[in-house]
Structure 1
Amino acid sequence: MASGDGGGGVRASVRDEVDRIVAAWGRERPDLDVRPLEVLSRVSRLARHLDLARRSAFARHGLEAWAFDVLSALRRAGRPYRLSPGALLTQTLVTSGTMTNRIDRLAEQGLVRRLPSPDDRRGVLVELTPAGRLRVDGAMADLLDVEESLLAGLGDEERARLADLLRTLVAPFDAP
């Protein structure tokens, strides 16, 4: 089942590997409706390209993706750039043991520090250090440049439409 314009404004002359995969499955298994591959295989392939681009951007700043996730959660929290380990767990979707390990590693690098919680004598807060802030800010700027280049083939209206469509697909996974 070949995909055409379908009213979405896609140029029929633009073909990619997914078109070849869909055509081959359509030829080999005409009994199957392979149209979901037209969307989700492209999303999967784009996710792989994005992952590679992000890892490269983070590496230029001496960070791994997991480190960027933690540092950016702290940066987004706003001044004084502090969160509890529990809040970091919620934002990064990892286990408490994994988060403890990540905080330890970032603290060893001087990118975060642990502080006693003013609200709970047994609790701690994780705070972004000035060095961590510089590192995450640089990585974020680099990431946005990389992501902009990945979207360069789309105009503003196409980007907005794609963002809306993807939001519709992703929102049910993010619901509590």
Structure 2
Amino acid sequence: MLQTLALIQRYADQPREVTRLARSQERELRTTLYASAVPEGQLSQALRNAAAEVEDTYAITIDVVVVGDRALDAQLDALTAASREALVNAAKHAGVTTVSMYAEVDDRGAEVFVRDRGVGFDPAASCDPSRQGIRGSIIGRLERHRGVATIRSTPGGGTEVQMRVEF
């Protein structure tokens, strides 16, 4: 923690870097204090880990809400990976500093929404079969695990990626 505080002082003139460092330290402290609250191998923890990794890599803030939980399996691993890819896409292309991720798990399935209020894009052009970004990393990955993904976006209107797997 002392090392992080020293880094925050060093980067005081770079608010985005200070925010990234502070959020990283907050996550680390929460993990230390509450590590036993969420068992390893659970969807909620996997999604939070993916969000933390993207936050640290791209210096953005990701607001994560997870309702319900379930032990990871191949379907939920695919859902986590697709969610991470949606977060990376938002971080790289949306032109925003904050992205939200909402996940809900019940006995029928799990659903994740990744939303940004960024620049948006034309999903028809980006989901062209000849392009592998969204098509392979999100849509195809979920389809291979009996899941679906829906991308809603308009230029200038932000993006929402809805991903679902059924149990």
Shorter-chain TM-score: what band? under 0.3
Bigger radius of gyration = 1
The structure richer in helix per residue is: 1
The structure richer in strand per residue is: 2
Question: TM-score when scaled to structure 1?
Answer: 0.24
